[in-house]
Structure 1
Amino acid sequence: MYRLSNTVIGFLNLFSLLASIPIIGAGLWMAKDSTTCENFLQTPLLIIGFIVLIISLAGFVGACFNVAWALWVYLVVMLLLILGLMIITVFGFVVTSQGGGVGVQGRVYREYELKEYSSWLRDRVKDPNYWTKIRGCILGSKTCASLGAWTLVDYLRNDMTPVQSGCCKPPTSCVYDSTTVMMDQDPDCFKWNNNPNVLCYECDSCKAGVLETIRRDWHKLSVLNVVVLILLIGIYCIGCCAFQNTRRADTDYPYGHNRMTKVRPRWDFYWWRWWRDRREQLW
């Protein structure tokens, strides 16, 4: 049972050290993937992976080899990571609290409006430079190509992803007539074009569909952050115990002594000398 917390924290950090490798690998793989539009996940994955790698290494060395300064660095960085994850998690829940789209009568899929989402997300997709990258990402992923063979029955029965609903077709409310076009329609109706490279990629509904995809993934990431926070707080508490044990070991067994040659307290030395003098007087 001696220094059980050190052993536990050593194994926990060994496992987290090994787990950081696929996290970093996933971030690097996503950076090379040209078919996904969720580039915002690359940086968090890489940052989290490297932080877990560093603090796990420091915690493993400090717990297994009784290096007090390594455990101290481990606890400080772990505390900063916990605080940072708390801020990111709260921000994520606030940002993803809006949206979700509205149902379309007689259809399975939902449609999305840009005004439904938080101003922070709207500002992101309204940036021309950011949207140019997202637009190219959608074109490269061939997301709309799968809808090219759909019939009217398919549009009535099949579901769509948010990006397909917003970018690959005009809003369902649009009315196109061979002779006249209603002028009081959704502005997206006039941005639609049958050209496969145009479609509705400049529509607000397309931007809303992208935000809905980001919102769903970010919400899942926030839920995962809650689980990670609980685990990190538990590991941090064990790490505090390991740090106290290491400091206590340095105090109880100073340099030049080991566990078998523990220094006697001062009062014990005086008591033994008094008993030796009394014994000599008696004999």
Structure 2
Amino acid sequence: MYRKSNTIIGFLNLFTLLMSIPIIGSGFYMAKNSSTCQNFLQTPLLVLGFLVLIVSLVGFIGACCHVTRALWLYLIIMLILIVVLMIVTVFGFVVTGQGGGAPVPGRVYKEYHLQDYSNWLRNRVKTDTNWDSIKGCILGSKTCGKVVGWTPFDYMRNDMAPLQSGCCKPPTSCVYGQTVIMGQDPDCYKWNNDPSVLCYACDSCKAGVLETIKRDWHKLSVLNVIVLVLLIALYSIGCCAFQNTRRVESTFPFGLNRMGKVRTGWDFW
């Protein structure tokens, strides 16, 4: 059992160490290619990747080299990481549980309303400073350039991403060039066909940003759940390896193995 638990935890930590590399890479990729320049998705991904890297390295050394202190440190860090990851995952599901868009009659795309999202998310786009930064990133990504040449028929048959639906056109209910008896959506008056204006000042554009963040965060939450299950399994095996390492050290206090020879770092016997 001693050999099995230490061998398993050694290989599993080697696997998670290698797995942390694409997680870190994904965080840097999202930071570079985000159309909204928001870092409250990229930052948790980078932190998760580096923590998994450090924990896996400590666990690998502790299991394969029979270093009790390393395994003890590994179990403490692992427990903290599991608790933090649980909190972050639950928080992510809570703040992104609302929204989702409303169907538009006769259209494939959906439209998004700012009031449908949680207060925490709305606060991310509430201040002018934050929104000016986000708007600059949307303009730089040329999100609206893909739909600028659409005909009315294209709007009826084609789907649109949340950013395109919220930022590149006025709400579908808007009426222009006619006498409107009832009041229209305030976003209708913020729309301008100038490519540098469009509907970037609209609440629908902010809602499109939040919907994009929500969808990305759900993907991150699924990844968190997978990593969480793996960490719990590693923690359980790590506890066994720690107990076995302490048992061997108490049995062979002078660093000798069962054959009476000096025990090396890779000697499981």
Q: Which residue of structure 2 aligns with residue 215 of structure 1?
A: 214
Q: Which runs of 4+ in 1 moved over 6 A?
A: none
Task: State the 1:246 CA deviation.
Answer: 0.5
Matched, 1:20 2:20: yes
Cα distance in 2 for partners of 1:168, 1:44 equals 30
Whole-angstrom distance in 2 between the partners of 1:100 and 1:131: 21
Q: Distance in 2 between matches of 1:147 and 1:33?
A: 20
Whether 1:171 aligns to 2:165 is no
Cα 1:256/1:124, change in 2 over 3 Å: closer
Give the aligned CA root-mean-square deviation in angstroms.
Answer: 1.8
Q: Secondary structure at the match of 1:19?
A: helix
Matched letter for residue 145 of structure 1:
G
In the TM superposition, residue 21 of structure 1 has moved relative to its aligned partner by 2.1
Indicate how the Cα distance of structure 1 residues 117 and 35 shifts in structure 2: closer, same or farther if over 3 A, else same: closer
The separation in 2 between residues aligned to 1:256 and 1:193, in whole angstroms, is 78
- The residue aligned with 1:96 is 96
- Could you give the per-residue CA deviations for residues 215-253 of structure 1, whole angstroms, max 9, x where no partner exists? 111122212211211111011100111101110011011
Q: Residues 32 and 98 from structure 1, CA distance in 2 versus in 1: closer, same or farther, beyond 3 angstroms?
A: closer
**Paired AA for residue 154 in structure 2:** D
- Partner of 2:140 in structure 1? 140
Quick one: percent identity of the two aligned structures?
71
Aligned-partner Cα distance in 1 for 2:106–2:241: 62
Per the TM alignment, residue 130 of structure 1 is displaced from its structure 2 partner at its CA by 1.5
The answer on whether the counterparts of 2:31 and 2:37 sit within 8 Å (CA) in structure 1 is no
1:64 and 1:120 map into 2 onto residues whose CA distance is 45
Aligned to 1:33: 33
Residue type at the aligned position of 1:28 = F
Contact 1:14 1:56 in 2 (8 A): yes
Rounded to whole Å, the distance in 1 between the matches of 2:17 and 2:62 is 14
Return the alpha-carbon distance in structure 2 between the equivalents of residues 188 and 124 of structure 1. 19
Unaligned runs of 5+ in 2: 262-269
- Offset from partner CA, 1:111-166 (integer Å, 9 cap, x none): 11111010111111112222111111110111101111111110111111111110
Aligned to 2:267: none
Task: Give me the whole-angstrom Cα distance separating, in 2, the residues matched to 1:10 and 1:188.
Answer: 58
- Map of 1:226 onto structure 2: 225
Asked if 1:191 is matched to 2:193, the reply is: no
Which residue of structure 2 aligns with residue 206 of structure 1?
Answer: 205
Point out the structure with max Rg over C-alpha. 1
* 2:82 counterpart of 1:82: yes
3-state SS, counterpart of residue 3 of structure 1: helix
1:80 partner letter:
I
Give structure 1 stretches of 5+ with no counterpart: 263-283
Contact 2:10 2:64 in 1 (8 A): yes
Name the TM-score, length of structure 2 as normaliser. 0.92
C-alpha distance 251-208 of structure 1, shift in aligned 2 (>3 A): same
**Structure 1's 217 and 65: CA in aligned 2 closer, same or farther, altered over 3 A?**
same
Counterpart position of 1:62: 62
Q: 1:246 to 1:137 in 2, by over 3 A?
A: same
The amino acid across from 2:169 in the alignment is K
